[in-house]
Homo-oligomer: A and B are copies of this chain.
């Protein structure tokens, strides 16, 4: 499982179409289709029902969707936290020459 797969899954779940999700993600349709399949394969259970009109979330997909959104949000927060901490308490001023206590 990769973050890309999770992003693909969320996009497909929200759009209901692989093609439209691919458009939103700025990638082609086959990679999205393949990653969704790979995700289902890894989880051992299908997440979508393939209908002639697109993709419909199964119960397993709905359960996964909540967590998936949380994961993506957590990734965002993690980056922000690291950057924020670095701003508040910078590691060590390189101070090549003029030492300035601060």
- Chain A positions within 8 Å of B, measured between CB atoms, are 1-3, 6, 42-47, 49, 58-64, 66-68, 70-71, 74-75, 77-79, 81-86, 88-89, 91-92
Contact residues in B for A63 (Cβ distance below 8 Å):
81-82, 84-85
Number of copies of chain A assembled together: 2
For the residues of A in contact with B, the DSSP-based class is: helix
* Docked-complex contact A60 and B43, CB < 8 angstroms: no
* Docked-complex contact A60 and B1, CB < 8 angstroms: no
Minimum CB–CB distance from A46 to chain B (whole Å) comes to 6
Residue pairs across A and B with Cβ atoms less than 8 A apart, 17 shown, are A1-B3, A3-B3, A6-B78, A42-B79, A43-B83, A44-B83, A45-B82, A46-B91, A49-B91, A58-B85, A58-B86, A59-B89, A60-B85, A60-B86, A62-B85, A63-B85, A67-B77
* Docked-complex contact A86 and B59, CB < 8 angstroms: yes
Contact residues in B for A46 (Cβ distance below 8 Å):
86, 91
CA distance A89 to B49 in the complex (A): 14
